[in-house]
Amino acid sequence: MSFELVLITGMSGSGKSVALHALEDAGFYCVDNLPPELLAPFVELQTQQQARQVAIAMDVRSGVSLPLVPQQLDQLRQQGFTLRSLFLDSTTDALVRRYSETRRRHPLSRQEGRTDAPELQRALVQAIELERELLSELREGADIIDTSIIRPAQLQSYVKSLIAAPQSALTLVFQSFAFKRGVPLDADYVFDVRMLPNPHYVPALRPLTGLDQPVVDWLREHDEVARMYADIENFLGRWLDALVHDHRSYVTVAIGCTGGQHRSVFLAEQLARSFGQRWVALKRHRELGAS
Protein backbone atom coordinates (compact mmCIF):
# COMPACT_ATOMS: atom_id res chain seq x y z
CA MET A 1 0.00 0.00 0.00
CA SER A 2 1.37 3.42 -0.99
CA PHE A 3 2.20 5.99 1.67
CA GLU A 4 1.99 9.72 0.89
CA LEU A 5 3.61 12.28 3.19
CA VAL A 6 3.05 16.03 2.90
CA LEU A 7 5.21 18.45 4.88
CA ILE A 8 3.75 21.91 5.40
CA THR A 9 6.13 24.61 6.51
CA GLY A 10 6.61 28.32 5.98
CA MET A 11 6.41 31.70 7.61
CA SER A 12 4.50 32.13 10.86
CA GLY A 13 1.19 33.77 10.04
CA SER A 14 1.24 32.62 6.41
CA GLY A 15 -1.68 30.18 6.73
CA LYS A 16 -0.19 26.82 7.69
CA SER A 17 -3.18 25.96 9.87
CA VAL A 18 -5.52 26.70 6.95
CA ALA A 19 -3.45 24.45 4.69
CA LEU A 20 -3.43 21.69 7.29
CA HIS A 21 -7.21 21.89 7.62
CA ALA A 22 -7.53 21.62 3.84
CA LEU A 23 -5.56 18.39 3.87
CA GLU A 24 -7.56 17.11 6.82
CA ASP A 25 -10.71 17.71 4.78
CA ALA A 26 -9.08 15.77 1.93
CA GLY A 27 -8.65 12.71 4.15
CA PHE A 28 -5.10 13.19 5.44
CA TYR A 29 -4.10 12.34 8.99
CA CYS A 30 -2.65 15.66 10.17
CA VAL A 31 -0.14 16.54 12.89
CA ASP A 32 0.88 20.09 13.79
CA ASN A 33 4.29 21.13 15.15
CA LEU A 34 5.87 17.68 15.17
CA PRO A 35 9.43 17.88 16.60
CA PRO A 36 11.95 17.08 13.83
CA GLU A 37 13.57 14.41 16.00
CA LEU A 38 10.30 12.46 15.85
CA LEU A 39 9.79 12.66 12.08
CA ALA A 40 11.41 9.34 11.13
CA PRO A 41 9.91 7.35 14.06
CA PHE A 42 6.49 8.89 13.35
CA VAL A 43 6.61 7.93 9.66
CA GLU A 44 7.66 4.40 10.57
CA LEU A 45 4.78 4.13 13.03
CA GLN A 46 2.27 5.35 10.47
CA THR A 47 3.46 2.85 7.86
CA GLN A 48 3.13 0.05 10.41
CA GLN A 49 -0.43 1.19 11.06
CA GLN A 50 -1.01 1.18 7.28
CA ALA A 51 -1.79 4.88 7.06
CA ARG A 52 -2.00 6.08 3.47
CA GLN A 53 -1.95 9.89 3.63
CA VAL A 54 -0.22 11.90 6.36
CA ALA A 55 0.41 15.65 6.61
CA ILE A 56 2.84 17.24 9.07
CA ALA A 57 3.32 20.93 9.85
CA MET A 58 6.70 22.19 11.05
CA ASP A 59 8.05 25.69 11.55
CA VAL A 60 10.42 27.75 13.68
CA ARG A 61 8.68 26.55 16.85
CA SER A 62 10.89 23.46 16.43
CA GLY A 63 13.81 25.60 17.57
CA VAL A 64 17.38 24.35 17.33
CA SER A 65 16.34 21.01 15.78
CA LEU A 66 14.90 22.66 12.65
CA PRO A 67 18.15 22.21 10.61
CA LEU A 68 17.66 18.45 10.91
CA VAL A 69 14.60 18.48 8.65
CA PRO A 70 16.17 18.74 5.13
CA GLN A 71 18.47 15.78 5.80
CA GLN A 72 15.59 13.74 7.20
CA LEU A 73 13.47 14.50 4.15
CA ASP A 74 16.29 13.34 1.86
CA GLN A 75 16.55 10.10 3.83
CA LEU A 76 12.82 9.47 3.53
CA ARG A 77 12.97 10.03 -0.23
CA GLN A 78 15.89 7.61 -0.50
CA GLN A 79 13.77 5.05 1.33
CA GLY A 80 11.16 5.35 -1.40
CA PHE A 81 8.51 7.43 0.36
CA THR A 82 6.27 9.69 -1.72
CA LEU A 83 6.95 13.11 -0.22
CA ARG A 84 5.73 16.59 -1.06
CA SER A 85 6.87 19.73 0.68
CA LEU A 86 4.71 22.87 0.69
CA PHE A 87 6.17 26.20 1.80
CA LEU A 88 3.72 29.02 2.57
CA ASP A 89 5.17 32.49 2.18
CA SER A 90 3.93 36.07 2.53
CA THR A 91 5.41 39.51 2.21
CA THR A 92 6.75 41.09 5.39
CA ASP A 93 4.11 43.85 5.14
CA ALA A 94 1.32 41.25 4.98
CA LEU A 95 2.70 39.37 7.98
CA VAL A 96 3.09 42.56 10.04
CA ARG A 97 -0.49 43.50 9.22
CA ARG A 98 -1.80 40.09 10.29
CA TYR A 99 0.06 40.17 13.58
CA SER A 100 -1.17 43.70 14.22
CA GLU A 101 -4.77 42.69 13.52
CA THR A 102 -4.72 39.56 15.67
CA ARG A 103 -2.44 40.88 18.47
CA ARG A 104 -0.59 37.58 18.30
CA ARG A 105 3.05 37.30 19.30
CA HIS A 106 5.57 36.10 16.74
CA PRO A 107 7.30 32.88 17.93
CA LEU A 108 10.73 34.53 17.59
CA SER A 109 9.71 37.75 19.28
CA ARG A 110 10.84 38.35 22.86
CA GLN A 111 8.74 41.44 23.39
CA GLU A 112 5.14 41.69 24.52
CA GLY A 113 2.74 44.50 23.85
CA ARG A 114 0.92 46.27 21.05
CA THR A 115 2.44 45.42 17.67
CA ASP A 116 1.40 48.82 16.31
CA ALA A 117 3.90 50.60 18.59
CA PRO A 118 6.89 51.75 16.46
CA GLU A 119 9.58 49.98 18.48
CA LEU A 120 7.58 46.75 18.61
CA GLN A 121 6.87 46.97 14.88
CA ARG A 122 10.62 47.12 14.29
CA ALA A 123 11.13 44.13 16.58
CA LEU A 124 8.42 42.21 14.70
CA VAL A 125 10.02 42.93 11.32
CA GLN A 126 13.38 41.76 12.68
CA ALA A 127 11.78 38.53 13.92
CA ILE A 128 10.17 37.92 10.52
CA GLU A 129 13.44 38.47 8.67
CA LEU A 130 15.26 36.14 11.07
CA GLU A 131 12.58 33.53 10.43
CA ARG A 132 13.12 33.86 6.67
CA GLU A 133 16.80 33.16 7.16
CA LEU A 134 16.17 30.13 9.37
CA LEU A 135 13.66 28.65 6.91
CA SER A 136 15.62 29.38 3.72
CA GLU A 137 16.87 25.81 3.32
CA LEU A 138 13.38 24.37 3.74
CA ARG A 139 12.08 26.82 1.13
CA GLU A 140 14.56 25.50 -1.42
CA GLY A 141 12.99 22.72 -3.43
CA ALA A 142 9.53 23.10 -1.87
CA ASP A 143 6.31 23.95 -3.68
CA ILE A 144 5.84 27.60 -2.72
CA ILE A 145 2.46 29.27 -2.27
CA ASP A 146 2.32 33.04 -1.81
CA THR A 147 -0.51 33.77 0.62
CA SER A 148 0.06 37.52 0.87
CA ILE A 149 -3.28 38.65 -0.57
CA ILE A 150 -5.36 35.50 -1.04
CA ARG A 151 -8.32 34.46 1.07
CA PRO A 152 -8.32 31.27 3.18
CA ALA A 153 -10.75 29.63 0.75
CA GLN A 154 -8.34 30.30 -2.13
CA LEU A 155 -5.44 28.84 -0.15
CA GLN A 156 -7.45 25.71 0.62
CA SER A 157 -8.22 25.35 -3.09
CA TYR A 158 -4.56 25.82 -4.06
CA VAL A 159 -3.38 23.20 -1.57
CA LYS A 160 -5.98 20.65 -2.62
CA SER A 161 -5.19 21.11 -6.33
CA LEU A 162 -1.47 20.66 -5.73
CA ILE A 163 -1.92 17.50 -3.70
CA ALA A 164 -4.46 16.08 -6.14
CA ALA A 165 -2.09 16.56 -9.09
CA PRO A 166 -0.34 13.29 -10.00
CA GLN A 167 3.36 13.02 -9.32
CA SER A 168 5.22 13.74 -12.53
CA ALA A 169 8.57 14.97 -13.78
CA LEU A 170 7.22 18.52 -13.81
CA THR A 171 4.13 20.30 -12.50
CA LEU A 172 3.40 23.71 -14.00
CA VAL A 173 1.26 26.37 -12.35
CA PHE A 174 0.02 29.18 -14.57
CA GLN A 175 -1.04 32.09 -12.36
CA SER A 176 -2.72 35.28 -13.45
CA PHE A 177 -2.28 38.38 -11.29
CA ALA A 178 -2.58 42.16 -11.15
CA PHE A 179 0.65 44.17 -11.07
CA LYS A 180 -1.10 46.82 -8.99
CA ARG A 181 -1.39 44.25 -6.16
CA GLY A 182 2.20 43.02 -6.40
CA VAL A 183 4.14 40.25 -8.13
CA PRO A 184 3.56 36.79 -6.56
CA LEU A 185 6.44 35.65 -4.35
CA ASP A 186 6.16 32.11 -5.67
CA ALA A 187 6.70 33.05 -9.33
CA ASP A 188 9.61 31.41 -11.17
CA TYR A 189 8.84 33.29 -14.40
CA VAL A 190 6.94 36.58 -14.71
CA PHE A 191 5.50 37.84 -17.99
CA ASP A 192 4.11 41.37 -18.29
CA VAL A 193 1.17 41.63 -20.73
CA ARG A 194 0.00 45.14 -19.83
CA MET A 195 0.88 46.42 -23.28
CA LEU A 196 -1.83 44.28 -24.91
CA PRO A 197 -5.28 45.65 -25.89
CA ASN A 198 -7.39 45.89 -22.73
CA PRO A 199 -11.01 44.65 -22.60
CA HIS A 200 -11.49 46.84 -19.53
CA TYR A 201 -12.08 49.79 -21.85
CA VAL A 202 -14.91 48.02 -23.67
CA PRO A 203 -18.02 48.73 -21.55
CA ALA A 204 -19.71 45.42 -22.39
CA LEU A 205 -16.60 43.44 -21.46
CA ARG A 206 -15.50 45.34 -18.35
CA PRO A 207 -17.58 43.32 -15.82
CA LEU A 208 -16.49 40.01 -17.40
CA THR A 209 -13.21 38.10 -17.05
CA GLY A 210 -10.82 36.19 -19.26
CA LEU A 211 -12.87 33.07 -18.51
CA ASP A 212 -15.89 34.46 -20.35
CA GLN A 213 -16.32 33.69 -24.03
CA PRO A 214 -16.99 37.30 -25.19
CA VAL A 215 -13.63 38.35 -23.70
CA VAL A 216 -11.90 35.30 -25.19
CA ASP A 217 -13.33 36.09 -28.64
CA TRP A 218 -12.36 39.78 -28.38
CA LEU A 219 -8.77 39.03 -27.39
CA ARG A 220 -8.39 36.46 -30.15
CA GLU A 221 -9.23 39.15 -32.68
CA HIS A 222 -6.01 41.03 -31.87
CA ASP A 223 -2.73 40.00 -33.49
CA GLU A 224 -0.70 41.39 -30.56
CA VAL A 225 -2.33 38.90 -28.20
CA ALA A 226 -1.51 36.01 -30.52
CA ARG A 227 2.10 37.15 -30.83
CA MET A 228 2.48 37.49 -27.06
CA TYR A 229 1.04 34.01 -26.54
CA ALA A 230 3.41 32.55 -29.15
CA ASP A 231 6.43 34.29 -27.58
CA ILE A 232 5.66 32.96 -24.09
CA GLU A 233 4.86 29.48 -25.40
CA ASN A 234 8.08 29.33 -27.41
CA PHE A 235 10.19 30.54 -24.49
CA LEU A 236 8.75 28.01 -22.07
CA GLY A 237 8.87 25.23 -24.60
CA ARG A 238 12.56 25.89 -25.15
CA TRP A 239 13.58 25.95 -21.47
CA LEU A 240 11.25 23.65 -19.54
CA ASP A 241 13.17 20.54 -20.55
CA ALA A 242 16.30 22.09 -19.08
CA LEU A 243 14.47 22.63 -15.79
CA VAL A 244 13.45 18.97 -15.75
CA HIS A 245 17.06 17.94 -16.30
CA ASP A 246 17.97 20.21 -13.37
CA HIS A 247 15.60 18.12 -11.22
CA ARG A 248 12.97 20.81 -10.89
CA SER A 249 9.55 19.34 -10.20
CA TYR A 250 7.43 22.46 -9.74
CA VAL A 251 7.44 25.71 -11.74
CA THR A 252 5.12 28.71 -11.38
CA VAL A 253 4.60 30.92 -14.42
CA ALA A 254 2.97 34.24 -13.51
CA ILE A 255 1.14 36.28 -16.15
CA GLY A 256 0.41 39.84 -15.07
CA CYS A 257 -1.78 42.62 -16.40
CA THR A 258 -3.15 45.75 -14.75
CA GLY A 259 -6.22 44.35 -12.99
CA GLY A 260 -5.69 40.61 -13.27
CA GLN A 261 -9.16 40.13 -14.71
CA HIS A 262 -8.96 39.81 -18.49
CA ARG A 263 -5.67 39.52 -20.41
CA SER A 264 -3.63 37.63 -17.84
CA VAL A 265 -6.51 35.25 -17.10
CA PHE A 266 -7.02 34.51 -20.80
CA LEU A 267 -3.33 33.81 -21.44
CA ALA A 268 -2.91 31.69 -18.30
CA GLU A 269 -5.87 29.57 -19.42
CA GLN A 270 -4.54 29.14 -22.96
CA LEU A 271 -1.01 28.29 -21.82
CA ALA A 272 -2.26 25.75 -19.26
CA ARG A 273 -4.33 24.08 -21.95
CA SER A 274 -1.35 23.88 -24.31
CA PHE A 275 1.30 22.69 -21.84
CA GLY A 276 -1.17 20.41 -20.10
CA GLN A 277 -0.88 18.08 -23.09
CA ARG A 278 2.64 17.17 -21.98
CA TRP A 279 2.98 18.04 -18.27
CA VAL A 280 0.67 18.44 -15.31
CA ALA A 281 -0.63 22.02 -15.65
CA LEU A 282 -2.59 23.80 -12.92
CA LYS A 283 -4.30 27.19 -13.10
CA ARG A 284 -4.62 29.93 -10.49
CA HIS A 285 -6.34 33.28 -10.93
CA ARG A 286 -5.24 35.28 -7.91
CA GLU A 287 -7.52 38.27 -8.35
CA LEU A 288 -10.74 36.49 -9.30
CA GLY A 289 -12.92 36.43 -6.23
CA ALA A 290 -10.12 37.83 -4.08
CA SER A 291 -12.08 40.79 -2.80
Sequence ranges of the domains in the chain = 4-164, 171-285
Percent of the chain with pLDDT over 90: 58
Q: Is 0.85 topped by the overall pTM?
A: no
Q: What is the pLDDT of residues 113-139, one digit of tens each?
A: 444 555 566 788 999 999 999 999 889
Q: What is the pLDDT of residues 62-91, one digit of tens each?
A: 776 788 888 888 888 888 888 889 999 999
Q: What is the pLDDT of residues 2-35, one digit of tens each?
A: 788 999 999 999 999 999 999 999 999 999 988 8
CA distance 15 to 9: 10
CA distance 62 to 273: 41
Name which CATH class applies to 4-164.
Answer: alpha beta
Other beta carbons within 10 angstroms of residue 244's beta carbon come to 15
- Coil, strand or helix: which one is 281? strand
